[in-house]
Amino acid sequence: MASSQDRSQGRTGGIVSGGTAEAATYTGNRALQIEEPLIFEMGQPGRCGVDLPEPPRVKDRLNGLRRTGDIGLPGLSEPQVVQHYTRLSQKNYAIDMGVYPLGSCTMKHNPRINEKVARLPGIGDLHPLQPVSTVQGALELIDRLAHWLKTLTGMPAVAMSPAAGAHGEMCGMMAIAAALKARGERAQRKTVLAPESAHGTNPATAAAIGFTVKPIPANDRGRVDLTALKAALGPDVAAIMLTNPNTCGLFESEIVEIAQAVHAAGAYFYCDGANFNAIAGRVRPGDLGVDCMHINLHKTFSTPHGGGGPGAGPVVLSAALAPYAPYPWIVKDGATWRVAEDESKVEGTPLGRLKAFHGQMGMFTRALAYIMSHGADGLKQASEDAVLSANYVMAALKDTMSPAFDGPCMHEALFDDSFLKDTGVSTLDFAKAMIDEGYHPMTMYFPLVVHGAMLIEPTESVAKEDLDQFIGALRSLAARAKTGTAAEAFKAAPLYAPRRRLDETLAARKPILRWKPSNNPPETDPVKQAAE
Amino acid sequence: MRYLPLTDTDRREMLSVIGARSVDELFRDVPASAHLGAKIGGLPDHQGELEVERAFQAYAAKNLSPATTPFFIGAGAYRHHVPSTVDYMIQRGEFLTSYTPYQPEITQGTLQYLFEFQTQITLLTGMEVANASMYDGSTGTSEAVLMANRVTRRHKALISGGLHPQYRRIIETTAKWEGFNAVIGKPDVEGLEDLIAAVDKETSCVVVQNPSFFGHVRDFARLAAACHAAGALLIVVVTEVVSLGLLKPPGEMGADIVVCEGQSIGNGLGFGGPYVGLFATREKYMRQMPGRLVGETVDADGKRGFVLTLSTREQHIRREKATSNICTNAGLCALAFTVHLTLLGEAGFRRLAEINHAKASELADRVAAIPGVKLLNGSFFNEFTVRLPRPAAPVVEALAARRILGGLPVSRLIPNDPSVENLLLLAATETATEHGMGPLVAAMKEVL
């Protein structure tokens, strides 16, 4: 299905752009948009991108298990490798290119000093199991970040090892399970309450640990319905999992009452900290009655998202849950730092261990650099600017698009699709049309409680003139949609991206998850062609 | 503050469009009791790049980097040379500052490299399908056990004593909180463990590591057959993925799930993370896999393109019925892995493995020649275990005092077990030189 032949056809159908019909090119490339084969279609035996010395001849000690036959890896020279990945990179949208308003994901600026310090040999080139006497600076660095996280959240303890937000959820919910077990109530308290607007990771996490998830409804202001919550609380409830600010971009105004009710019922309050970036430096979750909260370092503290990770998800813990932190943690004995990792000792944790070694050190370093660069003043300002920018977008678009809720939002502006009613244009179409305007779309169809949801998170990193252009683009698209005659054009979008809409049904119905020589028709196999 | 583009004038104009007098009004839903009037106390204010960099140089100066000293530690994290191209590529902003490819039309770069990555993993492991990465090998191993439990609808996992002790701890933790039975083998120091007799009709899976934590290279074909006869799955864990350049892949031994720590290729030691978990299985179990999967498809013009697929397994669609709660994984570390492996190619990857084996063989012979030191391995790849005449932990400390990072005392990961107290785990990769081996051997003779 994929082939050099397809590529040489260029775009079919003579799409008209600026009055000029696009002509097909011989290569299928279009100036800076270069079609790129898979590495498996490029390689030649005998090529290699590294120079390694001839290995000394030794007698095998492989227990007779030497690999026979080829692995099947292609051979490419270094310049080919550089060109391949450079070309691929140019098919990606990124924060470095412009507004990336992907709600809930916090696509803010990723400073390069963070990358630089993470690569200092004395930090990036350390083995996790070196004698602790040789990594005192690394342990001090982790403890310094832990100090910032505890202070910013007003919580007494933090578990640093979770590898991402969802992993942090696992840590927090296991700590809750451990605390319940210590109270002798693990078997009795099997219910976890979560709003219907919750991230999918919340119910997935709770269910994995054997809890039954019970949804709690929202009120017409997009917040947890306190009366319904109180009615749902009982001796069977282990915890509530609540995002705050919530996934609708709203602060849970009754959060203190929620926490009190949850605690009065003998349950714990898990806060999903995905949206901590809205309040860091202004509000401490510890003051709200939270028992544990993960912090997505790649969101709030801008360690890069990297195309889908790596992240890091340290979990701050209240005094009630602190004894149930997982291994390892950093301890200071006099002037010396050490790692508490010996589960057989008296300091042993009833939770256990979630990850090998000491957590995502590379992310810790970047987050600490980001935090130190901002300082207490800058973090507060960043939160305020994020909230200001989202409210600005909301205010500027409220008459053109349809806000899901009244009143100020926090760091993200949520719209439903009622402004598209009877236009034939869906949220998906609207998002794809944004691509042609040069933007990454907002988060679509999440949270689930809002019809055709569009969740816009501008972040604090966008200049006002760029926000204005973004607002202008959305107004223009909304106006076009509302003409009622543009549905077809919207459905054709995007026209100018490296690819037009992709057939996701085909991908799922007949999954092709790896390259095989037979994926390509033989006559268009470039490897074979090249060989001829 | 250099990262914040809004000026005070901008802020005033924006507030006026919003119709708010101050930004405080936007925070009016925050309960008064939780409102911090001023900035949080006790924390410093913002700093320039120069000051921040200095602070990190000060942290770095308090550590002993392997770059400047003889270094022979492995145990699940291996120091290899990473070509400059790798780090240059992963720092391109288009990769570094993009996210999960939810909008495939403008993230074909990420999707294509992940498709290539998945293909590379299947080739290395000898398996049929692979996902787009897990956090690391250790968490991936636990996910593999959970997957085996789902596939077999059984709840007993047999864990080899050759598995990395921290991986084992994570499985135990998962078992405790997610409700299954993990039967843990005794530390398999000699590489002689035979789990075949323990596999029964209640066993969901057997988890082995190859080469084992202690370095032994084993053939698991018979164990695989025993597992399949009992309706159980064989999970093979590889913590040193370079070994797959030289060793028979787990797929050829009959493995059902293969989990690797991919750090060795493209990713530095980084004091333990972030790393990248490789996860591969048989096609028939594809829909029970955790994590993201990238699949090939076509766009509206019929051109080949790539998308995230089979998402109905995942938390954002399936919620409490998802195969895993994993969301963000290790995209950029997967990119580092795939760029490095592409540079190596068939010839380079195999040669790299040969060099590792040769270096470790040389080190093993030299260390075993020290009086009182006994090599426990009949087989190994680039890591092996020696028994010292006295406890290994103080020996390693004494070596560190001489600025030599001379292996891992097994007692650090398996504490309070007299049978491993004298064991030292040593690794040698292509980065090992005579300038390192010579001083290590000389210093060991002194301190033993």
Q: What is the pLDDT of residues B311-323, one digit of tens each?
A: 888 888 888 888 8
What are the chain A neighbours of B243 within 8 Å (beta carbons)? none
The pair of three-digit structure tokens given for residue B305, joined into one six-digit string? 């393109």
Q: Is any Cβ of chain B less than 8 angstroms from the Cβ of A473?
A: no
The pair of three-digit structure tokens given for residue B138, joined into one six-digit string? 């250790």
What are the chain A neighbours of B57 within 8 Å (beta carbons)? 120, 122
Please enumerate in sequence order all residues whose Cβ is within 8 A of that of B238, keeping only pairs 6 or more positions apart, or say none.
B125, B137, B209, B210, B211, B244, B250, B258, B259, B260, B261
Give the Cα separation of B155 and B145 in Å (integer). 9
| CA angle, residues A77, A83, A89, in degrees to nearest 5 | 135
Which B residues 192-211 touch A at CB under 8 Å? Answer: none
Give the Cα separation of B263 and B274 in Å (integer). 8
Instruction: Judge whether A207 and A159 are in contact, CB under 8 Å.
Output: no
- What is the per-residue pLDDT for B276? 98
Instruction: Judge whether B70 and B404 are in contact, CB under 8 Å.
Output: yes
What are the chain A neighbours of B377 within 8 Å (beta carbons)? 61
Helix ranges restricted to H, A289-443? 297-300, 361-397, 427-436
Give the Cα separation of A524 and A514 in Å (integer). 18
- What is the per-residue pLDDT for A520? 57
What are the chain B neighbours of A98 within 8 Å (beta carbons)? none
The pair of three-digit structure tokens given for residue A35, joined into one six-digit string? 């079609």
- What is the per-residue pLDDT for A22? 63
What is the spatial order of strands in the sheet that A443-444 belongs to? A402-403, A413-416, A454-456, A443-444
Please enumerate in sequence order all residues whose Cβ is within 8 A of that of A523, keeping only pairs 6 or more positions apart, or say none.
none
- ipTM of model: 0.97
- Res B131 pLDDT > 50: yes
Give the Cα separation of A7 and B303 in Å (integer). 7
**Which pLDDT band holds residue B357 (cuts at 50, 70, 90)?**
very high
CA–CA distance from B92 to each of A206, A299, A305, A452, B273 (Å)? Answer: 37, 19, 13, 34, 20
Q: Is any Cβ of chain B less than 8 angstroms from the Cβ of A36?
A: yes
Helix (H) or strand (E) holding A454: strand A454-456
- Give the three-state DSSP class for A45: coil
Selected residue of B8, B49, B92, B106 to mutate for chain A interface (largest A Cβ count, 10 A)? B106
Selected residue of B72, B73, B128, B319 to mutate for chain A interface (largest A Cβ count, 10 A)? B319
B52: Cα separation from own chain's centroid: 29
Nearest CB to B5 within list A141, A344, A463? A463
Residues B170, A354: C-beta atoms closer than 8 Å: yes
- Give the three-state DSSP class for A155: coil
- What is the per-residue pLDDT for A5? 37
Task: For residue B101, say if its preceding peptide bond is cis, omega within 30 degrees of 0.
Answer: no
Lowest-pLDDT range of A227-241, B160-174, B320-334, B391-405: B320-334
Instruction: Judge whether B425 and B408 are in contact, CB under 8 Å.
Output: yes
Domains of chain A: 1-40+500-532 (no CATH), 115-123+131-371 (3.40.640.10)
Q: How far apart are the first and last CA of chain B?
A: 56
Shortest CA distance from B379: residue in chain A: A61
Residues B270, A2: C-beta atoms closer than 8 Å: no
CB atoms closer than 10 angstroms to residue A154: 18
Please enumerate in sequence order all residues whose Cβ is within 8 A of that of A160, keeping only pairs 6 or more positions apart, or say none.
A142, A145, A146, A314, A329, A330, A358, A359, A364
Q: Supply the angle between the helices B165-178 and B137-152 in degrees, to the nearest 10.
A: 40
Which B residues 36-95 touch A at CB under 8 Å? Answer: 36, 39-47, 49, 51-53, 55-68, 71, 73, 75-77, 79, 83, 85, 87-95
Instruction: Judge whether B74 and B383 are in contact, CB under 8 Å.
Output: yes
Instruction: Judge whether A348 and A249 are in contact, CB under 8 Å.
Output: no
Selected residue of B177, B260, B313, B408 to mutate for chain A interface (largest A Cβ count, 10 A)? B177
Domains of chain B: 66-82+347-447 (3.90.1150.10), 84-340 (3.40.640.10)
- What is the per-residue pLDDT for B359? 97
Nearest to A55 by CA among B430, B164, B344, B131: B430
Q: Is any Cβ of chain A less than 8 angstroms from the Cβ of B392?
A: no
What is the average pLDDT across B90-109? 96
Residue contacts between A and B (CB atoms, under 8 Å): 730
Q: Answer positive or negative: Cα dihedral of B88, B94, B95, B98.
A: positive
Selected residue of A105, A115, A119, A129 to mutate for chain B interface (largest B Cβ count, 10 A)? A129
Sequential pLDDT tens for chain A (532 residues): 333 334 333 334 334 444 445 678 999 898 888 999 999 999 888 899 999 999 988 899 999 999 999 999 999 999 999 999 999 999 999 999 999 999 999 999 999 999 999 999 999 999 999 999 999 999 999 999 999 999 999 999 999 999 999 999 999 999 999 999 999 999 999 999 999 888 889 999 999 999 999 999 999 999 999 999 999 999 999 999 999 999 999 999 999 999 999 999 999 999 999 999 999 999 999 999 999 999 999 999 999 999 999 999 999 999 999 999 999 999 999 999 999 887 665 455 689 999 999 999 999 999 999 999 999 999 999 999 999 999 999 999 999 999 999 999 999 999 999 999 999 999 999 999 999 999 999 999 999 899 999 999 999 999 999 999 999 999 999 999 999 999 999 999 999 999 999 999 999 999 999 999 876 544 444 444 444 3
- What is the per-residue pLDDT for B62? 98
- Write phi, then psi, for A278 (nearest 5 degrees): -75, -25
Q: Is the pTM of this model over 0.90?
A: yes
Could you report the per-residue pLDDT of B250-282, keeping only the tens digit for each? 999 999 999 999 999 999 999 999 999 999 999
Strand blocks (E) in B59-194: 129-130, 156-159, 181-184
The count of residues in chain B is: 448
Q: Is any Cβ of chain B less than 8 angstroms from the Cβ of A468?
A: no
What are the chain B neighbours of A115 within 8 Å (beta carbons)? 91, 96
Give the Cα separation of B244 and B237 in Å (integer). 12
